[in-house]
Structure 1
Amino acid sequence: MENAQAITTDAALLRPGGVSAVSVGSLASAIGGQLLQLADSTDPGGVEVTGVSLDSRAIRPDDLYAALPGARFHGASFAAAALDAGAAAVLTDSTGADLLRASETPVTVPVVVAADARAAVGSVAARVYASQPADGSGLSLFAVTGTNGKTTTTYFVNSILRALGETTGLIGTIEILAGDQRIPSKLTTPEAPTVHSLLSVMRESGMTAASMEVSSHAIEFHRVDGIRYGVAGFTNLTQDHLDLHGTMQAYFDVKAQLFTPERTERAVVVVADDDDAWGIAMARHARAQLGADNVDVFAMRGGVVGDRESGPERRGADWTLHSLTRRGIGHAFELVHRDGRSLRVSTGLPGVFNVANAALATLMVLSSGVALEDLQRALDQHDPLTTDVPGRMQLIGTQPTAVVDFAHNPDALARALAAVDPPEGDGRVILVFGATGERDKTKRPLMGEIAAREADVVIVSDDDPHGEDPSTIREEVMAGAQALIEAGGARATEIHQIAPRSVAIHSAVRMAGRNDSVIVAGRGHETVQEIAGVDHPLDDRAELRAALDEMRHSTQEGWGETK
């Protein structure tokens, strides 16, 4: 077996070194699958596998090939390539089994047929990679879900854990950190075989804890099946991904699956205020599922959560926010428990929403069993919540303040704009943003409206158009901004449509004065822009730095500082 520390840029190729072979018969029995023998072979149930892959191109000898239905093709169509690469068995559904029977290439390896093969992959991968050993030697696992704040919160959790002396791993939107490996992410949450393999690699590498972003797609498509977390955290729920889920209730219902005994031991839920219907609903759901004593509810404002007289699952918030003050561009604050315990916390990242992210991360670590005194000492001595998070309210320059953020939905955009708003009368907010193609179209005019309401100068450009006409996307965003202007509710005095995005960024900086704030929103850490199926190099951070450098060289005073 290849050493776990071998250099790779693809997480799907990173495998643990200490895997024990597992028989196909035992896997079939565990998932209630039917074991088929499509051609002459001996004892199909006795065949053993040492890996799992959904990608025929990533198959290694003795792997189980999971041939699943896809958006355009069924994985069984690529079984011949998987077998040529050394696959020892195939897991598929009834449709896949029919395709294998009809294949011109005889399938001489055992085939396991499951009613829902995708739903079975997680538990199969968990067994093959022993990602959570029964002896308790696995990692302490933290999961964060919600619409906004997942990435920052996982980085915060990891930073606190490192301040406490833990050796940590991370699986998320920006990157995967596993031992000596730093791998760019392709998905917010990788497919189930990759997740389970990574957890085993982390354990072999000496990791003691790991945090993961868990998206609604990950839950919907069974990417985190077979994992039980120590603590799961909920940030918020606002409009996004309705192209997949259809309604906000359906979106909530998918997220809520994480807060069940099968998936987590404990939970921390953020409730923004007494009008946060989704936060309150998640708090009640988690308490009902896990027991009120296993759930900490943190209220940013208010703290009613539910009727205190209607049972413990509807009691008030456990933790509330106190003494919020500015600390540089960030904040210092206090978390106070209803029993009188408290924690002093600070973060150097801008925005009140990062107060919520910092509080959530702190309380998740506390919920994992860390003593309050030890946690307070780590917060005081190491300032772990001022860690850099690539592309998340990332400060690129000063004079003017220049920030890149991942805000790509209405709520995130409003929060980001509020975070960079200069003191009244001191400067303007100049925004560059767009909307993603082939995603929820209903949020485009909403984002245009928010931009016109919260920014002084709005530049609508392109995000990732994918296969859509970029000009059509821009016009749909512009429509929301123009509607607000016509209604007389706009703050914006200028609205421009500028493409390509690099030109829009440079134009924004040229418009800026030294006391203004320039924010480039939507793409964050991403380094390529997809247009009509072609990836074009584009890093908002690099473009913004270049524009600021040009400004510094062209102004007599030399302002336009970069970080």
Structure 2
Amino acid sequence: MRPPVVPVACRDVPSAVATAPPRPTHVEPVDFNKLADEIGARVVRVPGCPAAEAAVTGATLRAQHVRPGDLFAALPGVRVHGADFAEQALAAGAHAVLTDADGILRAGLTEHPAVREGRVALLEHEDPRGVLGKASALIYGDPSSKLKILGVTGTSGKTTTSYLLESALSAAGWTTGQIGTVETRIAGERLDSAFTTPEAPDLQALLAVMVEHDVRTVAMEVSSHALAMGRVSGSRFAVGAFSNLSQDHLDFHRDMEDYFQAKALLFDGRAEREVVCVDGEWGRRLVKSGTVTVSTESADADWTATGVTAYPTGEQTFTAHGPDGLEMPVRLRLPGPFNVANALLAIGALHAAGVPLEAIEQGLAEVDVPGRMERVALGQDFTAVVDYSHKPGAVSAVLDAARAQVDGDVIVVLGCGGDRDTAKRPLMGEAAATRSELLIVTDDNPRSEDPADIRAAMLAGAQEVPAGERGEVIEIGDRRAAIIAAVERAQPGDIVVVAGKGHETGQEVAGVVHPFSDREELAAALRHRLGRNEETQDRRGRDATAGA
């Protein structure tokens, strides 16, 4: 009988980590001396004190998640050092602390009673974050070696591609796991996701839980943050896949080259097979001997597409052509040329992983992705969708796809997140104004910033577009009011795109997350409009009857 997947609730932590990730029910204790040898850490001996004999049965970098027997990783950070929370971790029963020399000094760890009594081991490493993934993998029994993990990186398309992968893997009859932005799934059981890619200890614990649940294959989104910060260190990939690169996360990366080099880490040998979309120069730079290439633009790639046909419903079909004359008919519920590219990338990765074409065809045809060109249809005479696009390239691609679906106007509601890459804000405003008849600039997740400043940057970009080349641009800060206004302006045959937040169910303002779902707000606005129209029709009917 499989053990249940039970996330551990905790209090007094930021919203992004309000729930501790699941852990396996059984872990073989690991001697800390062996752990230190494997990761190249120095075991700190305190003169005159007994040597520690502790064994380690878990790992975390959050003091509030520590369980008895854990390794607590006290990592240096931009604002604080994890060693500042070492006392809390030791009080919770940590058996070992991994940190750097500064962490040991600032927390006075060599003077802590638990260390001096030999109950806690100190492991010192100059780059504790860099070795934490390997340490966590060792503690949890190297779970990725027991799984076939298909990892996807890129600016856009990670979530959609991972859903396509997971669906086809399931269609092949394999018990699957999924790790990504929207959710984590273990053998069909859903968990909310705090990060696109979990921190290294959480990821290794999660993979170990999947092993316990007889998961065989995993579709996993791999973010640039995860690669640069070592979250996937210690993980082995059966396939690494690259979708595309466009401007995003330049609040974290120095520039686009630095951003690219972070993505390229997935292709440094940790993946047995590599699959790359070569429709852009960034992807072409990743190609080496043995790389499987996919392209919607070049016939020279290993996987290509012909006969792409889009339908008013948003569905599309095409024929995928692969190595050695392989051909496969593809039907997608997902609109837009970018989803043809996502599907080809998934096909290339799945074929490289040994999935039969029949299962790939079946799996791809069954996928809907939460918050990605997701339709909200309540019987209205225009199209309404919610999408997660929150970067310039994604906004352009989504609105081009929206334009291809309808004969009427494109109406878009769009904002930008606060405390993130500021340079992309005018670019997003420009992209949306160029591709719509009506752009309503609104708030997204302003976080700690002044929402008006964010909107002003977007409006500046929109207004840079010559008047004859852009649609109407208005500003409505309140996102609910902006969605209502978009629905009220829509005419038969138009399309309303509420972009930026997609699947999210909260809006962060001044450090507080308020309940807010674009899908629910769009549905409410549609119901209000449809209800009002029905009342008007009923009233006209009564008036006509009275007049007769």
Does 1:302 pair with 2:298?
A: yes
SS in structure 1 of the partner of residue 107 of structure 2: helix
- Amino acid of the structure 1 residue aligned with 2:283: G
Among 336, 361, 367, the alignment partner of 2:346 is: 361
Alpha-carbon contact 2:66-2:89 (below 8 Å) kept: yes
Alignment correspondent of 2:307 = 323
Q: TM-score, normalised by structure 2?
A: 0.91
Does 1:280 pair with 2:278?
A: no
Alignment correspondent of 2:273 = 266
Instruction: Deviation per CA, 1:499-541: give whole Å up to 9, x if none.
Output: 2111100111011112110000001111111111111111000
Alignment correspondent of 1:250 = 258
SS in structure 2 of the partner of residue 257 of structure 1: helix
Alignment correspondent of 1:394 = 374
Alignment correspondent of 1:313 = none
Alpha-carbon contact 1:422-1:428 (below 8 Å) kept: no
Q: TM-score, normalised by structure 1?
A: 0.89
- Amino acid of the structure 2 residue aligned with 1:297: T
- Alpha-carbon distance change, 534 to 223 in structure 1, aligned in 2, over 3 angstroms: same
Q: For structure 1, which segment, 179-188 or 19-28, has the greater mean C-alpha deviation from structure 2 after superposition?
A: 179-188
- Alpha-carbon distance change, 338 to 383 in structure 1, aligned in 2, over 3 angstroms: closer
Alignment correspondent of 1:97 = 104
Instruction: Deviation per CA, 1:169-220: give whole Å up to 9, x if none.
Output: 1111111112464221111111000000000100101111111110000011
Alpha-carbon distance, 1:104 to partner = 7.3
CA distance in structure 2 between the aligned counterparts of 1:441 and 1:27, rounded to whole angstroms = 42
Alpha-carbon distance, 1:485 to partner = 3.2
Does 1:403 pair with 2:385?
A: yes
Does 1:118 pair with 2:124?
A: no
CA distance in structure 2 between the aligned counterparts of 1:6 and 1:216, rounded to whole angstroms = 28
Alignment correspondent of 2:414 = 433
- Amino acid of the structure 2 residue aligned with 1:302: S
- Note the 1:446-525 alignment, pairs <5 A: 446-486=427-467, 488-490=468-470, 492=471, 494-525=472-503
- Amino acid of the structure 1 residue aligned with 2:424: K
CA distance in structure 2 between the aligned counterparts of 1:47 and 1:437, rounded to whole angstroms = 44
- Note the 1:167-246 alignment, pairs <5 A: 167-179=175-187, 181-246=189-254
Alpha-carbon distance, 1:378 to partner = 2.3
CA distance in structure 1 between the aligned counterparts of 2:444 and 2:232, rounded to whole angstroms = 29
Alpha-carbon contact 1:422-1:517 (below 8 Å) kept: no
Q: For structure 1, which segment, 467-476 or 263-272, has the greater mean C-alpha deviation from structure 2 after superposition?
A: 263-272
SS in structure 2 of the partner of residue 243 of structure 1: coil
Among 144, 148, 153, the alignment partner of 2:156 is: 148
Alpha-carbon distance, 1:100 to partner = 3.0
Alpha-carbon contact 1:299-1:317 (below 8 Å) kept: yes
Alpha-carbon distance, 1:337 to partner = 2.7
Alpha-carbon distance, 1:360 to partner = 1.1
Alpha-carbon distance, 1:250 to partner = 1.1
Instruction: Deviation per CA, 1:70-96: give whole Å up to 9, x if none.
Output: 232111111111111110110001110
Instruction: Deviation per CA, 1:105-146: give whole Å up to 9, x if none.
Output: 43411100011000010000000001337xx6x111010000
CA distance in structure 1 between the aligned counterparts of 2:178 and 2:48, rounded to whole angstroms = 44
Alpha-carbon distance, 1:235 to partner = 0.6
CA distance in structure 1 between the aligned counterparts of 2:295 and 2:398, rounded to whole angstroms = 20
Gaps of 5+ in 1: 304-315
CA distance in structure 2 between the aligned counterparts of 1:60 and 1:379, rounded to whole angstroms = 41
- Alpha-carbon distance change, 298 to 11 in structure 1, aligned in 2, over 3 angstroms: farther
Alpha-carbon contact 2:241-2:274 (below 8 Å) kept: yes
CA distance in structure 1 between the aligned counterparts of 2:249 and 2:369, rounded to whole angstroms = 23
CA distance in structure 2 between the aligned counterparts of 1:150 and 1:56, rounded to whole angstroms = 31
Does 1:341 pair with 2:326?
A: yes
Alignment correspondent of 1:307 = none
- Alpha-carbon distance change, 70 to 107 in structure 1, aligned in 2, over 3 angstroms: farther
Alpha-carbon distance, 1:13 to partner = 3.7
Q: For structure 1, which segment, 550-559 or 211-220, has the greater mean C-alpha deviation from structure 2 after superposition?
A: 550-559
Alpha-carbon contact 2:199-2:231 (below 8 Å) kept: yes
CA distance in structure 1 between the aligned counterparts of 2:61 and 2:47, rounded to whole angstroms = 23
- Amino acid of the structure 2 residue aligned with 1:407: S
Among 55, 60, 65, the alignment partner of 1:53 is: 60
CA distance in structure 2 between the aligned counterparts of 1:450 and 1:105, rounded to whole angstroms = 57
Alpha-carbon distance, 1:43 to partner = 3.1
CA distance in structure 1 between the aligned counterparts of 2:34 and 2:47, rounded to whole angstroms = 20
SS in structure 1 of the partner of residue 330 of structure 2: strand
Alpha-carbon contact 1:38-1:107 (below 8 Å) kept: no
- Amino acid of the structure 1 residue aligned with 2:103: G
Alignment correspondent of 1:311 = none
Alpha-carbon contact 2:439-2:474 (below 8 Å) kept: yes
CA distance in structure 2 between the aligned counterparts of 1:69 and 1:385, rounded to whole angstroms = 46
Identity %: 43
Alignment correspondent of 1:76 = 83
Alignment correspondent of 1:553 = 531
Alpha-carbon contact 1:392-1:405 (below 8 Å) kept: yes
Alpha-carbon distance, 1:452 to partner = 1.1
Aligned alpha-carbon RMSD (Å): 2.1
SS in structure 1 of the partner of residue 389 of structure 2: coil
CA distance in structure 2 between the aligned counterparts of 1:100 and 1:254, rounded to whole angstroms = 32
Among 143, 154, 166, the alignment partner of 1:132 is: 143
Gaps of 5+ in 2: 10-17, 538-548
Alpha-carbon distance, 1:361 to partner = 1.1
Instruction: Deviation per CA, 1:313-367: give whole Å up to 9, x if none.
Output: xxx4212221211244121111213532222212111111111111111221110
- Note the 1:375-394 alignment, pairs <5 A: 375=357, 377-380=358-361, 382=362, 384-394=364-374
- Amino acid of the structure 2 residue aligned with 1:277: E
- Amino acid of the structure 1 residue aligned with 2:131: A
Among 172, 175, 181, the alignment partner of 1:164 is: 172
Instruction: Deviation per CA, 1:52-84: give whole Å up to 9, x if none.
Output: 010111100110111111232111111111111
Instruction: Deviation per CA, 1:31-51: give whole Å up to 9, x if none.
Output: 11110134865432x420000
Alpha-carbon contact 1:25-1:47 (below 8 Å) kept: no
CA distance in structure 2 between the aligned counterparts of 1:267 and 1:409, rounded to whole angstroms = 26
SS in structure 2 of the partner of residue 484 of structure 1: coil
